[in-house]
Each structure stands twice: as structure tokens, then as C-alpha cells.
Amino acid sequence: MLYNYYILTKDLLNNNHMATIFFKINNVQEREVKTFMEEEGYTNKAEFFRFLIKFYKYNKTPEEIRFEKTTQELSEILKKLDKQGKIKKTIDEQLKDV
């Protein structure tokens, strides 16, 4: 099945834009979608796919959560070292041998 899907987006000036996405799923995926929609009570495929996009956007994998947490911790350590004057070289100078 070939689907057209429209996503409402906003630009920097808060103007609404509708983006069109085309995608194709095979018959097995089509059956899975129909079964899941019936189980979860979705009334149409547009509603179902809008939910999937929001779910994907706001729910992160454990690896993504761990990466974000570690990155934040590293950022805080680097800020403390920089404030204490312990970082003397720029990032370019530190990585020139790499």
C-alpha cells in the first residue's frame, strides 16, 4: 500500500506548513497496522501514524537516554574545568595529533 501522510510543521516565524510524506508498506506490515489499530482503538490510519511520529519523537531508547545523560555530565565537567582555568588549550590544539 502506498500512503500519503501530511505533517503540520511550524517555521521560525510560527507559520504553519503541511509536509507531505509518501511511503509504502508491504502486505504483512499492512496487516500488522490494521491489527494494532483495532487493538488500540485508532479510528483511522492518519491518527495512527500521527501517534507513531509523536511516540518516536518523545520516547527515546535506553541508549539515547544514556548518551544524553553522559554528554550532559561531560559538558558540566568541562565547564567546571574551564572556569577553574584548567583547560589551557583550545579543542583544535588538543586534537591536532588525532
- Encode pLDDT of 19-53 as tens digits: 677 778 889 998 999 999 999 899 888 888 888 87
Alpha-carbon distance of 27 to 2, in angstroms, equals 11
- Residue count (the chain): 98
Alpha-carbon distance of 97 to 94, in angstroms, equals 8
What residues does each domain of the chain span? 2-58, 62-94
* Average pLDDT of span 1-5: 53
Cell representation of residue 17 = 506548513
